[in-house]
Amino acid sequence: MPGRLEGKVCVVTGAASGIGAETARLFGQEGAIVVGTDLSPESEGEFTLVVDVADEEQVKDMYTQVREKYGRIDVLFNNAGINPPEDESVLDTSLETWQRVQDVNVRSVFLCCKHGIPHLIETGGGSVINTASFVAIMGAATSQISYTASKGAVLALSRELGVEFGRRGVRVNALCPGPVNTPLLEELFASDPARASRRLIHIPMGRFGETREIAQSALFLASDDSSFVTASTFMVDGGLSGAYVTPE
């Protein structure tokens, strides 16, 4: 039985770890030709590239190489991003930190869409998935202001592009994970269980998400299973964004 992405050429940014790496592996299992990119040379994928996705010339060259090698591009999973530990309240965040997060989290998505979408249009359309976050629609007293603002921008950008390109065969959606059980989060909360508890209490399912669960959602948005889904804020957050009071 063919996979849901059989023969599709998928470019995954931030493919060396976390959600990006897990999604690249899953896309490959579903029959995709996966091009994994990252600043690290350890990306998952059939073909990998070391790319700074905040650099316009590198982004343009990335897509040129993929087209020359495979002849088409069908899916963009614009997932690369950072959340530096020094990102705090607006009162404490430096301008340097603010700008660095905007450059990686917003500029990169803008550049990947600007230079990637034309390839999708030229080869018959496709799917663009931009990784935003549940924080794009919710506020928190434990603020990470530059990260939150960057993900709000990704969400708005994705919605706009979904509307703009819907009749040209390109679907664009913002994937919004809730808190995900990554090695970084495990390390942080192992040293401070109170911080973990403060966050878990707000999640109706009572646990953090797993990278595989986010990858499965990206797979749905990449595949023809989501053929009538575009300009959406696709929440994968264990019910967090819908909760007021959670079970004890």
Active site residues: 147
CB 122 within 8 A of CB 92: no
The conformation of residue 105, written as its DSSP 8-state character, comes to: I
Query: Which of 34-38's residues contact partners 24+ apart within 8 Å by CB, and which partners?
Result: 34/10, 35/9, 35/10, 35/11, 35/66, 35/70, 36/12, 37/11, 37/12, 37/13, 37/62, 37/80, 38/13, 38/14, 38/80
Q: In angstroms, rounded to a whole number, what is the distance separating the alpha carbons of residues 168 and 185?
A: 40
CB 120 within 8 A of CB 77: no
